[in-house]
Amino acid sequence: MTSEVTVVVMTRNRWPDLRRSLPRHPAPVILVDNCSSDGTAALVRRHFPDIEVVELAANAGAAARNVGVRRARTPYVAFADDDSWWAPGSLESAAALFRSHPRLGLVAGRVLVGEAETPDPLCTSMATSPLGTDADLPGPSVLGFLACGAVVRRDAFLEADGFDTVVFFMGEEDRLALDLASRGWGLSYVDSLVACHHPSPARDATARRALDARNKLLTAVMRRPWSVVMGEVTRLYSSDRAGRIALRHALPRLPHALARRRRLPARVEAARRLLETNEEPWG
């Protein structure tokens, strides 16, 4: 049977990870290379000739996935990173969910991290979402997800403009989730869909916290009330070094964020505020 799901993989200078993960993806697969300098594209073409490779002339960050989605010829698209893959049967199950739930725009699966297969903490939060489960959706409603553990309805993703270049990378899921919900699409967490993620342990914790905080602020500028934006600024300024780095790095991107500013519908803003009551504070 022809697959209804295309796997879109975004990468940059991660050939060793791809060599392990690409054989685990069911076809069709589109790999979007973010201007790698390690010969990734040529190596993938040589070792995995059945995979469609798209080479970008510049690093587009998370928006590179948009290129893959536009090229996909299936109704649904699953995302994977160079260090992640989907468990057997999960994508077929996701396609069945989309067919039986016409309003479903995105389904978030359970992400198991590392050799120990520890569930990502965000999955626990999504499984117990206070937004409840709508009668026409297959699982708890969510307003966030992990890109490497998500499958989208292609038309819904493109309607919501996909990932944007304002945040560039990390936390890029938030604005997309808000815009899908604003257009009436449902987003659900389904625990039986499983993705495996084996990230490198060598990561700069402060830099990652700063990047995450910067992008949350930029997303707030694009979609949230000014009171929320100013609350984020105050919290970051009065927190730690990572918070102040986030503020400094957000400044050059503010004009781009302001140009894309559009307030959320009241129902989506209310849902986002409800979720915030369960989130851990910064710092």
Q: What pLDDT score does 280 carry?
A: 60
Average pLDDT, the chain: 96
Binning pLDDT at 50, 70 and 90, where does residue 279 land?
confident
On the question of a cis peptide bond just before residue 28, with omega within 30 degrees of 0, the verdict is yes
Q: What pLDDT score does 253 carry?
A: 98
Mean pLDDT of 168-197: 98
- For residues 179-218, one letter each, b for 16 or more C-beta atoms within 10 angstroms of the residue's C-beta and e for the rest, the string is bbbbeebbbbbbeebbbbbbeeeeeeeeeebbbbbbbbbb
Q: What pLDDT score does 30 carry?
A: 98
Cα separation, 217 vs 236, in Å, equals 9
What does the radius of gyration of the chain's CA atoms come to, in whole angstroms? Answer: 18
Both tokens assigned to 24: 């685990």
Binning pLDDT at 50, 70 and 90, where does residue 283 land?
very low
